[in-house]
Chain A
Amino acid sequence: MITQAPNLIFSQLASDEQIDQTVQALKAKNIQALW
């Protein structure tokens, strides 16, 4: 039996701008990223 329903707000795709921002932030921390 499922213990709790998933909070579906966390299933929404990020926008292109948000992905770009994340990729740049990861790179700044030496984590290679692309999309």
Chain B
Amino acid sequence: MNTGEEACDYVLNLLPEGAEVHASMSRTLEQIGLTSIIEESGRYQAIRPQLRKLDRVKQNREFRRMGSSPDFMLGSVHAVTMDGQVVVGSGGGSQIGPYASGAGKVIWVVGAQKLVPTLEDALHRLHEYSYPLEDERMQTAVGRSAQLNQILIIQGALFPGRLNMVIVKENLGF
């Protein structure tokens, strides 16, 4: 794909009308307009608006269950190695469970600036590029630092078709 707009259209074509869709908090998805379409079009059962209605403390069990096993999970990653390893960093880990096994199908949209030669480069990218930008975003948004508490490394999948990646030749996300 050459543009985020093309990637957005491609992903939307993969989602059946009425499907249960969870979009992770992702600058990439926001940039290409996918987050707003998922949450506001009414064409899908969007998970995040339902999560916002829950009390995270009093309805914690429902909150965890609803967010952990969507039919479709959309998001991005922080690095992809040229030998096919995928690296995702997270503060709270809410996207890591669905990516690893909880979601029925995972669709990542990835800017081509996230491709790196080796796993060592991928971890350097996460720490030296993605984290500082996420930290800046968090400082601006909520006045506190980002935390990089969990790192997921995917180096293969048991079931073909569950993990899907659309690479865009455009600088998208962190």
Contacts and interface: CB of A to CB of B under 8 A. Distances in A.
B155 interface: yes
- SS class of chain B's interface: helix, strand, loop or mixed? mixed
B97 interface: no
Interface residues of B, number: 41
A26 B80 contact: yes
The interface size bin for chain A is: 20 to 34
B165 A26 contact: yes
A24 to B, nearest CB: 8
B171 A22 contact: no
Contacts of A34: 1, 165-167
A31 B129 CA distance: 25
A34 B161 CA distance: 12
Contacts of B166: 33-35
A31 B156 CA distance: 7
Contacts of B168: 35
Contacts of A28: 84
B97 to A, nearest CB: 18
Interface string B139-174: 100000100000000111111110111111111000
Contact of A13 (B82, B157, B171): B171
Nearest to B126: A10
Interface string B118-144: 000000110011101101100100000
Given A6-B132, A13-B171, A34-B166, 7 more contacts: A1-B139, A4-B132, A6-B128, A13-B111, A21-B82, A22-B115, A25-B82
Interface of A: 1-8, 10-14, 16, 18-19, 21-23, 25-26, 28-35
Interface of B: 1, 80-84, 86, 111-116, 124-125, 128-130, 132-133, 135-136, 139, 145, 154-161, 163-171
